[in-house]
Amino acid sequence: MSAVEFALPPDEVATAGGLPISLSRIEKSFGTLNVLRNFNLEVPAGQFLAVVGRSGGGKSTLMRLIAGLDTASSGRVTIGGRNVERLNPFVRLLFQEARLVPWQRVIENVGIARGPNWQETARRTLVDVGLEGRENDWPTVLSGGQRQRVALARALVSEPQILLLDEPFGALDALTRIEMHRLLEQIWGDRRFTTVLITHDVAEAVALADRVVVLREGAIALDTDIDLDRPRRELADPLAVDLQRRILEAV
Ligand SMILES: Nc1ncnc2c1ncn2[C@@H]1O[C@H](COP(=O)(O)OP(=O)(O)OP(=O)(O)O)[C@@H](O)[C@H]1O
């Protein structure tokens, strides 16, 4: 039994791959501000979805609803057909800041669920994100990209079926960002968790996602599949450039 299974109630034990996400007839307001209006979205199991939009368009609100960190004013959010009522152990989040615990070493930051063999599981996950041999480092000695790798390992260690990413690479330099794209694409390709990536970066959305949704004023302004071969090569394909142009126009 893995550390993860140990931490989950029996009816929530993870199976391989991803779970589908469904939002139907969602209304979400803060006071008089309607952030999402009659909002519907189906994300099939294992899909890599990117949500693009201007600041204030409701992207983070959408993610918080899927994560169970906030509730809709009305409508239904389900994961694997079950209502989302709280943060579930099979959903993991990654933010722009790595949010590591500064007084814990890398391995302790990753092995948050201290079940049996947690160190072994954490070490293996660190290898997966390219941080072999760094388990005893303190977060302060790591670069921004390495800290984000630790945060990614911490998200992956429990083998989530849903990964929610809110501008995870927004603070990284361009080359590190591309390295992280390749890493994430490869890990997602192996594990096939359902992924929702929130980003301002249209090139990033096209480089990573199976499908891009443009969120504008609380509604979907564009919903397009990204039928490009994998592994993706940033900007290399004329089709990618055309898709970026279409998405930018919708934003
Ligand atoms: N807890 C809250 N209370 C009141 N208003 C809120 C709250 N959370 C979000 N809002 C408002 O809802 C709108 C949508 O916010 P949200 O953070 O979802 O947008 P976003 O698309 O993620 O923007 P950004 O890209 O800047 O993060 C904004 O006008 C924001 O000010």
CA of 32 to the centre of ligand 1 (A): 13
Q: Kindly report the protein residue whose alpha carbon is nearest to atom 18 of ligand 1.
A: 58
Q: Is residue 18 within 8 Å of 173, Cβ to Cβ?
A: no
Give the burial string for 44-54 (b: 16+ CB within 10 Å, else e). Answer: eebbbbbbbbe
126 exposure class (CB count in 10 Å sphere: 0-12, 13-18, 19+) = buried
Which pLDDT value is given to residue 143? 95
The residues near 234 (Cβ < 8 Å, ≥ 6 apart) are: 178, 181, 203, 207
Give the tens place of pLDDT for each residue, 91-147. Answer: 999 999 999 999 999 999 999 877 888 999 999 999 999 999 999 999 999 999 999
Domain that holds residue 95: 3-250
**pLDDT interval class at 6 (50, 70, 90):** very low
Residue owning the nearest CA to atom 9 of ligand 1: 61
Residue 135's φ and ψ, nearest 5 degrees, are -60, -25
pLDDT digits (tens, 9 = 90+) for 217-232: 889 999 999 999 888 8
Is it the case that residue 2 has pLDDT exceeding 50? no
What is the pLDDT at residue 10? 39
* Cβ-based burial of 225 (10 A; exposed 0-12, middle 13-18, buried ≥19): exposed
- Testing ligand 1's pocket by substitution, the residue of 39, 59, 217 carrying the most ligand atoms inside 8 A of its CB is 59
CA dihedral 119, 122, 127, 129 (to 10 degrees): -160
Enumerate residues lining ligand 1, CB below 6 A: 30, 33, 35, 53, 55-61
Looking at residue 181, which CATH number applies to its domain? 3.40.50.300
How high is the pLDDT of residue 1?
Answer: 36
Task: Indicate which residue's Cα is closest to atom 16 of ligand 1.
Answer: 58
Low-confidence winner among 29-38, 81-90, 175-184, 235-244 (lowest mean pLDDT): 235-244
User: From the alpha carbon of 62, which atom of ligand 1 is closest?
Assistant: 18
Confidence at residue 16, expressed as pLDDT on a 0 to 100 scale: 52
The pLDDT tens digits of the residues spanning 50-100 come to 999 998 889 999 999 999 999 999 999 999 999 998 888 899 999 999 999
Number of domains present in the structure of the chain: 1
Q: What is the pLDDT of residues 186-200, one digit of tens each?
A: 999 999 999 999 999
